[in-house]
A and B are shown apart, each in its own frame.
Chain A
Amino acid sequence: MSNTENKSLGKIVNDLTRPLKNHKGFIFWIIFLALVIINGLVAYYGQLKIGLGTTALSDYVSWGLYISSFIFFVATALVGMLISSVLGLLGIKWITPIARIAEMVAIGFVMLAGIVIILDMGRPERLLNVFVHARIQSPIFWDATVVTFYVIISLLLFLLPLIPDIPFLKKTMTDQPKWKQLIYKMLSFGWVGSEEQYKIVKRSMRILAILIIPVALGIHTVTSWLFAMTPRIGWDSTIFGPYYVSGAFVAGSAAVVILMYVIRNTYKIKDYITEMHFDKMAKLLVLVMLVYVYFNINEYIVPAYKMKSGDDAHIFALFAGHFALMFWLVQIGGLLLPTVLFLFKPFRKPLPAMLISIAVVIGAFFKRYIITVPTLVHSNFPADNVPASYTEYWPTFSEWSITFMAIALALLIVTILAKLFPIMPIWEVAHDNGISNHEMNLFIENKQEDNEEVEIP
Chain B
Amino acid sequence: MKNIITSAIFTLLLVSSFGVKAQWEISEEVKNKKAPNEISQELALKGKKLYNQACVSCHGTPTQADGLLPTATDLGSDKYFDRTEGEAYFQITEGMAAMPGFADKFSDEERWNIVHFIRSYNPESTVDISSIKTINYKIDVKLNDSDKSIVATISADSSVTVSGVKMEFFVKRYFGNLPITAPVVTNEEGTVTVAFPNDIPGDAHGDLEIIVKFENSDLHGTAEFRKNVAWGTHTEYVDILSQRTMWGVGSKAPWWIIGIYFGIVIGVTLTILYVVFQLFLLKKVRNK
Contacts and interface: CB of A to CB of B under 8 A. Distances in A.
A189 interface: yes
A182 interface: no
**Looking at A137, A152, A208, which has the most chain B CB atoms within 10 Å of its CB?**
A137
A121 to B, nearest CB: 19
Contacts of B247: 137
A149 B285 contact: no
Contacts of B278: 200, 203-204
A121 B275 CA distance: 35
Given A194-B287, A196-B288, A133 B282 contact: no
A134 B279 CA distance: 34
Interface in B188-230: none
A49 interface: no
Interface string B242-274: 000011111001100110010001001001101
A153 B272 contact: yes
A136 B286 contact: no
A207 interface: yes
B12 interface: no
B268 A156 contact: no
A103 B284 CA distance: 28
Interface string B75-94: 00000000000000000000
B282 A163 contact: yes
B283 interface: yes
B22 interface: no
Interface size class of A (residues with CB under 8 A): 20 to 34
Contacts of A211: 268, 271-272
A175 interface: no
B276 interface: yes
Contacts of B250: 133-137
A215 B272 CA distance: 12
B258 A136 contact: yes
**Looking at B261, B265, B268, B280, which has the most chain A CB atoms within 10 Å of its CB?**
B268
Interface in A135-180: 135-137, 142, 145, 149, 152-153, 156, 159-160, 163
A195 interface: yes
A196 B283 CA distance: 10
A156 B275 contact: yes
Contacts of A203: 278
Nearest to B277: A204
Contact of B285 (A156, A159, A194, A207): A194
B92 to A, nearest CB: 28
Contacts of B249: 135
B160 interface: no
A142 B288 CA distance: 42
Given A135-B249, A137-B247, A194-B287, A156 B272 contact: yes
A136 B257 CA distance: 7
A196 B253 contact: no
B281 interface: yes
A207 B275 contact: yes
Contacts, number: 73
A194 to B, nearest CB: 6
Interface residues of B, number: 28
A200 B278 CA distance: 7
Contacts of B265: 145
A136 B253 contact: yes
Nearest to A205: B275
Nearest to A149: B268
**Looking at A159, A197, A215, which has the most chain B CB atoms within 10 Å of its CB?**
A197
B283 A189 contact: yes
Contacts of A194: 285-288
B279 to A, nearest CB: 6
Interface in A285-344: none
B268 to A, nearest CB: 5
Contact of A195 (B271, B272, B288): B288
Interface in A228-244: none
B276 A189 contact: no
A69 B284 CA distance: 44
A12 B275 CA distance: 29
A154 B201 CA distance: 60
A190 to B, nearest CB: 3
Interface string A179-205: 000000000011110111100110110
B271 A189 contact: no
Contacts of A192: 286-287
Contacts of A152: 272
Contacts of A149: 268, 272
Given A137-B246, A196-B288, A200-B281, A208 B275 contact: yes
B253 A135 contact: yes
Contacts of B274: 207
A173 to B, nearest CB: 21
Nearest to B267: A211
B268 A215 contact: yes
A190 B285 CA distance: 9
B285 A200 contact: yes
A207 B250 CA distance: 33
Nearest to B247: A137
Nearest to B279: A189
A196 to B, nearest CB: 4
B282 A191 contact: yes
Contacts of B248: 137
Contact of A136 (B261, B268, B275, B283): B261
Contacts of B258: 136
Interface string A106-145: 0000000000000000000000000001111100001001
6 contacts: A133-B250, A136-B250, A145-B261, A156-B276, A160-B279, A194-B286
Given A196-B288, A200-B282, 13 more contacts: A136-B258, A136-B261, A149-B268, A152-B272, A159-B279, A160-B279, A163-B282, A194-B286, A197-B286, A204-B275, A207-B271, A207-B274, A211-B268
